[in-house]
Amino acid sequence: MDIKVGGASGYDVRFLSSDATWDGINRSGVVITDSNLHSIYKDCFSTESLVVIEAGESSKSSEVYLSVVDQVLSLGLKRNGVVWAVGGGVVGDLAGFVAATVHRGVEFVQVPTSLLAMVDSSVGGKVGIDLRHGKNLLGAFHNPKEVRLSTDFLNTLPPEHFTNGMAEVIKYSWIWDVALLDRLKAERLTLESSDLREVVARCVSIKRDVVEADFGEKSGIRAILNFGHTVGHALETLDGYTELLHGEAIAMGMVAEAAIAYRAGISQIDPLEVAEVFDLYGLPVRPKGQVDLNLLVDLMMGDKKNIGDGLSLSLVTVPGECKLCHGVEPDMVQSVLADLWT
């Protein structure tokens, strides 16, 4: 069930067995992975042409980026070489940015191993690293030559990271696909679900459809992928990227943004209905402790989607549809969050 992204000159997301995924990886170019994957799959990696970064978001830094560039050049990566990114979203974003910039761009292949990377970060061509000014601030659009996707990798993924990825799966259902929403509500999707691959493939094709409609983020369509992310990113920044996983932050963000849409009269969806789905998957629907709402709304005011006065938020209007709304009153947002979280 391959999924083509970007038309004739685009690339395929190929659904493979784990054996087929490894085929040829160690024979050409340079493989980049993280320390966790390296220790679990050490027999699959060759010892040559391999770069191993520390697992975790802190590796998406300028220091690690320059060190990886140095290592791939020392390993002899040429202009016609290939970078293989074997890992979650951190490896994919960093390795993809290395591939986008070394020799002014070499080919790369994404081999996503986390649920989040399979359904989201490996498709769409956004690559980059974090700076002290914020997340993903240095980056590029650089499409992979191919995405090799094997859901077998999920068997070794820690359960909290499976749950983390489920937040993005649930997001797709609210913004685009009511049938998927009904499926996710009817029975908890788990590693054992017979339709796991089908659900992953559905998410990949939704991401493909959205990205193809607005590759360079010009028309605002791609912004619908940010449902829950304006509040979610602000919560992550307040947390300092220490405790909260991205999926947890955006789950709380989606409930909050559903409540904002309801108060603004943009949607009739009861935010409790949104919260129930996240509850089913063990995702948080409100922050654990007290949140400084002045600071949170200030952080939201710095979001790059904002145009003109007020906030720009991607809000679900009816289940399965989402639109970017401009000029949302910050005071109203603060009052909604105060009612929801206190």
Ligand X SMILES: NC(=O)c1ccc[n+]([C@@H]2O[C@H](COP(=O)([O-])OP(=O)(O)OC[C@H]3O[C@@H](n4cnc5c(N)ncnc54)[C@H](O)[C@@H]3O)[C@@H](O)[C@H]2O)c1
Contact residues toward ligand X (CB under 6 A) are 34, 36-37, 40, 55-57, 60, 87-91, 93, 113-114, 116-117, 120-121, 124, 126, 135-136, 153, 156-158, 161, 164, 246
**180, 202 contact by CB (below 8 A):** yes
**Nearer residue to ligand X within complex by CB, 202 or 233:** 233
Distance, in Å, from the CA atom of 24 to the CA atom of 12, rounded to the nearest integer, reads 17
**Nearer residue to ligand X within complex by CB, 91 or 291:** 91
Amino acid (1-letter code) at residue 255: V
The single residue listed with the structure tokens 């990227």 is: 241
- Comparing every residue's Cβ against ligand X, the nearest one is 89
Q: 76 in the Ramachandran plot: left (φ > 0), alpha (ψ -120 to 50) or beta?
A: left
C-beta atoms surrounding 3 within 10 Å: 18
Q: Is 58 helix (H, G, I), strand (E, B) or coil?
A: helix
**Nearer residue to ligand X within complex by CB, 114 or 267:** 114
Question: 327: which 2 tokens?
Answer: 């000029």
**Nearer residue to ligand X within complex by CB, 107 or 248:** 248
**Nearer residue to ligand X within complex by CB, 36 or 267:** 36
Rounded least distance, CB 33 to ligand X, Å: 9
Strand partners, 181: none
Rounded least distance, CB 94 to ligand X, Å: 8
Rounded least distance, CB 121 to ligand X, Å: 3
Amino acid (1-letter code) at residue 94: L
Rounded least distance, CB 312 to ligand X, Å: 19
Distance, in Å, from the CA atom of 201 to the CA atom of 187, rounded to the nearest integer, reads 18
Distance, in Å, from the CA atom of 185 to the CA atom of 326, rounded to the nearest integer, reads 30
Rounded least distance, CB 241 to ligand X, Å: 9
**Nearer residue to ligand X within complex by CB, 55 or 275:** 55
Rounded least distance, CB 23 to ligand X, Å: 18
